[in-house]
Amino acid sequence: MALAVGAELPRKHVTAREFVLEGIRDAMLGGKLVAGQELDDHALAETFGVSRTPVREALKVLEVQGFVTHRAFSKPVVAAISPARIEEVAFMRIALEGAAVVRACLTIDEPELNYLERCTEAGLKSLQKKDSAAWGNWNRAFHTRLAAAAGMPLLSREIDSLIDLARFYSSMLWREIPHSFREAQSAHLEIVKACRERNPELARKLLEDHLVASCAVQVELVNRGGVLQNAGPAESATKAQRSPRRTAGTSRR
């Protein structure tokens, strides 16, 4: 039986592995696959209309990126969230995005700065509307475009992967994030201002403070029991089915 994920994705001119990778990751970010849920390669292969080989390759990539956990003699599962993992991702983002913003601050042009401002304004409106998908898209757009302005593709690629992982964690905490992230999101405008003034050290400091604040919010929510951080796979899947935060199920066809 195929899992109800990724079926709505159009087949692009990409490899089978990339197609499956994008579909599974989008399903995780959209709440269709939840922490602790088993990932059956047979079902996923049927869903995406491919063989099991690209599915297994995609799952290995997702494991390296932190989205999937492999277990000995068992099926891989969607990775759980924990304060330690949130802090690790934030630590890496501070280092890499901090380096990127210092370089970007010296060369970014006015059209890009205007775009970053539009991303921030749209993101804040999404928070007010409690539109998780739109907020995630605009927040990601801000950080990825700012990093891309550094003109270092390899660095941008690593940052993009970390941003997607942080977005995955945010999707699990979405019910409470709209009440907690508005102040943190407003820091985007201050970062843009620092870049416009060609002040790389201020921009880096503002970005670091922003990421630290966002990390602290997520860690606090997890410690308060906002997500399933210690439940085993079976318990996680059962609880997730009852959770009002789960926006889409993974019913079998």
Is-contact 44 3, C-beta < 8 A? yes
Q: Is the pLDDT of residue 35 over 70?
A: yes
77's enclosing H/E stretch is: strand 77-78
At 77, give phi and psi (nearest 5°).
-130, 160
**Residue 201 to residue 194: CA distance in whole angstroms:** 9
User: Residue 248: its pLDDT value, please?
Assistant: 30
pTM for the structure as a whole: 0.77
Record: fold of 83-223: Four Helix Bundle (Hemerythrin (Met), subunit A) (1.20.120)
**Residue 15 to residue 42: CA distance in whole angstroms:** 19
So where are the chain's domains?
16-80+229-242, 83-223
Instruction: Please give the average per-residue pLDDT across 36-49, as a whole number.
Output: 93
**Selected residue with higher pLDDT from 87 and 185:** 87
User: Residue 161: its pLDDT value, please?
Assistant: 92
User: Residue 221: its pLDDT value, please?
Assistant: 86
Among 3.30.450.90, 2.40.50.140, 3.40.190.10, 1.10.10.10, what is the CATH number of 16-80+229-242? Answer: 1.10.10.10
**Residue 144 to residue 158: CA distance in whole angstroms:** 10
Mean pLDDT score across all residues of the chain: 83
User: Residue 148: its pLDDT value, please?
Assistant: 97
Pairing of β 68-69 and β 77-78: antiparallel
Confidence of residue 251 (pLDDT cuts 50, 70, 90): very low
Using one digit for the tens of pLDDT, what is the confidence trace for 165-209? 998 888 887 766 666 677 777 899 999 999 999 999 999 999 999
Using one digit for the tens of pLDDT, what is the confidence trace for 98-129? 999 999 999 999 999 999 999 999 998 988 88
